[in-house]
Structure formats: C-alpha cells, structure tokens
C-alpha cells in the first residue's frame, strides 16, 4: 500500500512541514501560509493573479555560485534554454557564469540583458542561417557545430578565426528518460564517435580557413543521477582527443545534472562530480599523453528548477471513482507531465485538514492535461483554494504555449520580502497582435 493510499484510511491530517529539498532556499510556513523569498504565497496570488510562476532570486544565484566554487578551474555555462529571461541572464552574468543559447531568439534575450558576447556559446542540433548570422554579428565566442552541412555553411559565413566546437555523440547511456537521453547512438544530436563521424568533423573544421577548432562538446542527457556516466564520457572523449592530431583546448561535458522533483529524491552530487571528473580527466590525459583541456559544464535545471514555485487557483472539484481537482492553468504552462511523464508534489496553501489522494488536472481540452496524480490534499478541497507546486523553475516558462488561446503566466522574482515581475502576464491583446 502506498503512502497516498494509507493516509486516508487512518485519517491523517496535514502537518506544518515542507517536503525537504524541493522548495526554494528559506521557504517556510507561517501558520498555514507558504512564504517564498520572504513573501507569503497568498499575497503573491492576490497581487499577481494565478497561475503565477514564482522564482526565488537568492536560490538561483546561490546554486550558480555553488558550481563555480566546486569547479573553479572550469567555465560554468548556464543553459539558457532552461529559463530564457533577460533578468535571469543578468543574474548569471553577475555571478560569473557564461551562457549558452541555441537560437537567434535566445541570443536576442542575451543581447537585451547586455550579456558579454565573449562569454556566450551557441549550440543546437539545427541552426538556421539566421541563427548563425546573428551569432556572428554579435561576436559569439564559440559556435558548436552539429552537422557537416552546418560546418560548410558556417565556414562560408564566418570571418577569419571564428571558434568552433564539435558536438560529439559519445555513446554513453545516462540511464534517463528516452526523450531526454542525448548521448546514445541513433538520435539527432551530434557526430557519432563510434562511426568516425566525430573525427571527420574535426578534420573538416580544421580545413576551413575561416574557422578555428576550439574544442569538443558533448551532452549525455537530462536528469542524470550517476556521476559514473560522466566519468565514462570523459574516458571516451579523451580517447577522441588523442586521435585528433591537433590540440584540443576545451572539453565541454554539457549539463543534465539532476534536480529532485519528489520527496525522497536526492540532489546531484556536485562535490563528487567535481572530484571524480577532475581525477578521471587527469588520469586519461596522462595515459593518452595529451594536454589536459579546460573543462566546460552547462548546468541549467540544477540551478533554476528548485528555485521555482507555481501557484494555481482551484476552479472545480469532481468527485467520483477519482477526485479531480481542476485548476486555472495546466499543460499550457507545464507540458512536462504530458511530454515525458514528469511528476510533481502539490501543496494546498492557507489551511490544512484530513488528506485524501486526488488528481490535479488543467483547464485544457486534452485528457492528457494532468499536472499531478495521486497527490495528497485536504479532503474538503474546493473551488477558490490556492495550490502551490514546487520545482517549476526549469523548462516551464520556456515550454509554455497558448493552447486554447490561454495567456502565458507571469514570472515573479522574489527576494528579501520584495516581489517584482520579470516576465509579465500575457494578455488577450498580446495574443491578437500576431493575427493579420
């Protein structure tokens, strides 16, 4: 019997305890209210409406600094796609991180933030001519090549000396969901190491007079929990470095470091990662007699996921075989459950009561618009109640849509008792502006 099944049978009530490791740093309960960044959730919902994505600035900055402290010799590159927002990019710049972008649109946000071009990396498995031209015009420091066609196009467009990295598919299984596993063979990212395509890509870049080979890039997936997967990646990548015949100055190991989404899930072992990857790199480079390249890593989710909380208002409750609690958001602000079965915890804000398992669903015209199944909420949950969902800082704003022509929610930054919108709520006027 699961906990969700057991608690209703014994009539257990909610306790004033937050799930450990899921909420932004310093989040606490004040009575029955949830306080994020010094601001009560009930006040945030009243001031900014719901749905509302709340982002704790101190948590974001502290977790970014933790990566710099763990690997001071490395270049820490924030994965901009995880939370594309000029203000967040400014936070990253202020604590010394670099930034990766994967389109002209993400680059436009970086430019709006004044992010230094010399600390921007552009990658992505498909970069259009417009993407490449935007990167070259702004002076992006490194472009990660992902296909032979792209190498040829970039060679024709670039001025002399544009630094390029080759994205390699190392053939490492990160033991994560198939939809976010990017290091194995037979998928769309990178040049295969096993087939020899990666080495061929290195040679083609070297042959282009307008390009300069800066290093190698790889990314094995998302929500990676095992440091051993990165150790194996280092071994394979150093083997490729030894075969290149030219010096490889930089080795980008990508990101994918896991974040806890449910109670009991552990955070990524950043200290262990730093120690073991550093040791493996030194050993393998000595074994193959090649210079040790500078490491780059690309954390995104592990910096912003647990800094975010989404607030929803209950609109309706239907009790039958299951109890469905319908809220004023859904898959337009969080498509992750529908995309790859992501699971979330949910808390009712403002009061307690005997717990019962419910299914929290969205407002959209899809049976798959389910935000969380078998979560415990007070048995008398009703329309008007306020729900809080933690771990919504990564890929929620980025993946949000206008399905059913529902406006995307605001992103509200909180810190030291102050709240301010860094992305405003989308209005019907915004939606109509694109129609001709």
- Asked if residues 54 and 310 have their Cβ atoms less than 8 Å apart, the reply is yes
Neighbours of 147 (CB within 10 A): 17
- Say whether 395 counts as a known binding-site residue: yes
Task: Please list, in sequence order, all residues whose beta carbon lies within 8 angstroms of the beta carbon of residue 279, skipping any fewer than 6 positions away.
Answer: none
- In the residue annotation, 258 being an active-site residue is answered as no
Assign 3-class secondary structure to 152-168: HHHHHHCCCCEEEEEEE
- Rounded Cα distance between 81 and 338, Å, is 19
- Asked if residues 288 and 241 have their Cβ atoms less than 8 Å apart, the reply is yes
Catalytic residue among 85, 218, 258, 365: 365
Task: Please list, in sequence order, all residues whose beta carbon lies within 8 angstroms of the beta carbon of residue 320, skipping any fewer than 6 positions away.
Answer: none
- Say whether 336 counts as a known binding-site residue: yes
Task: Please list, in sequence order, all residues whose beta carbon lies within 8 angstroms of the beta carbon of residue 31, skipping any fewer than 6 positions away.
Answer: none
- Say whether 301 counts as a known binding-site residue: yes
| Omega before 104 within 30 of 0, i.e. cis | no
Place of tokens 């390029």: 164
- Say whether 261 counts as a known binding-site residue: no
- Rounded Cα distance between 420 and 395, Å, is 20
- Say whether 256 counts as a known binding-site residue: yes
3-class DSSP state for residue 400? coil
Of how many residues is the chain composed?
A: 436
- Rounded Cα distance between 3 and 137, Å, is 56
Neighbours of 364 (CB within 10 A): 18
- Annotation: binding site: 256, 298-301, 336, 340, 366, 395
Which residues carry a binding-site annotation for pyridoxal 5'-phosphate? 256, 298-301, 395
Active site residue ranges: 365
| Residue list for the binding site for substrate | 301, 336, 340, 366, 395
């Amino acid at each position: 019997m699961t906990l969700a099944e057991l608690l209703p049978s014994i009539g257990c009530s909610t306790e004033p305890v937050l799930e450990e490791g899921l909420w932004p740093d310093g989040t606490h309960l004040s009575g029955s209210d949830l306080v994020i960044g010094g601001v009560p959730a009930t006040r945030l919902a009243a001031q900014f409406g719901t749905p509302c994505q709340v982002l704790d600035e101190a948590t974001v900055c502290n977790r970014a600094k933790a990566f710099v402290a763990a690997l001071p010799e490395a270049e820490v590159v924030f994965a901009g796609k995880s939370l594309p927002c000029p203000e967040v990019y400014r936070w990253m710049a202020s604590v010394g991180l670099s930034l990766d972008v994967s389109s002209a649109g993400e680059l436009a946000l970086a430019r709006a933030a004044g992010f230094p071009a010399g600390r921007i990396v552009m990658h992505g498995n498909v970069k259009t001519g417009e993407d490449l031209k935007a990167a070259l015009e702004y002076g992006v420091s490194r472009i990660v090549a992902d296909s032979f066609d792209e190498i040829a196009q970039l060679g024709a467009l670039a001025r002399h000396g544009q630094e390029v990295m080759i994205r390699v598919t190392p053939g490492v299984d990160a033991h994560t969901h198939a939809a976010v596993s990017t290091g194995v063979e037979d998928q769309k990212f990178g040049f295969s190491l096993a087939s020899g395509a990666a080495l061929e890509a290195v040679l083609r870049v070297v042959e282009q007079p307008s390009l300069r080979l800066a290093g190698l890039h790889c990314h094995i997936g998302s929500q990676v929990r095992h440091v051993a997967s990165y150790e194996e990646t280092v071994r394979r990548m150093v083997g490729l470095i030894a075969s290149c015949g030219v010096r490889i100055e930089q080795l980008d190991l990508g990101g994918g470091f896991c974040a806890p989404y449910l109670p009991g899930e552990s955070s990524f072992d950043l200290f262990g990662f730093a120690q073991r990857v550093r040791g493996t790199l030194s050993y393998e480079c000595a074994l193959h007699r090649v210079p040790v390249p500078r490491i780059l890593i690309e954390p995104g989710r592990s910096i912003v996921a647990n800094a975010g909380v989404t607030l929803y208002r209950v609109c309706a409750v239907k009790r039958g075989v299951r109890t469905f609690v319908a809220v004023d958001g859904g898959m337009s602000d969080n498509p992750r459950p529908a995309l790859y079965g992501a699971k979330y915890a949910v808390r009712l804000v403002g009061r307690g009561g005997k717990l019962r398992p419910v299914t929290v669903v969205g407002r959209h015209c899809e049976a798959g618009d389910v935000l969380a199944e078998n979560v415990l909420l007070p048995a008398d949950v009703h329309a008007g109640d306020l729900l809080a969902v933690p771990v919504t800082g990564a890929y929620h704003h980025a993946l949000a849509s206008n399905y059913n022509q529902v406006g995307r929610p605001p992103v509200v930054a909180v810190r030291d008792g102050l709240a301010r919108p860094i992305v405003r709520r989308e209005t019907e006027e915004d939606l109509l502006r694109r129609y001709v």
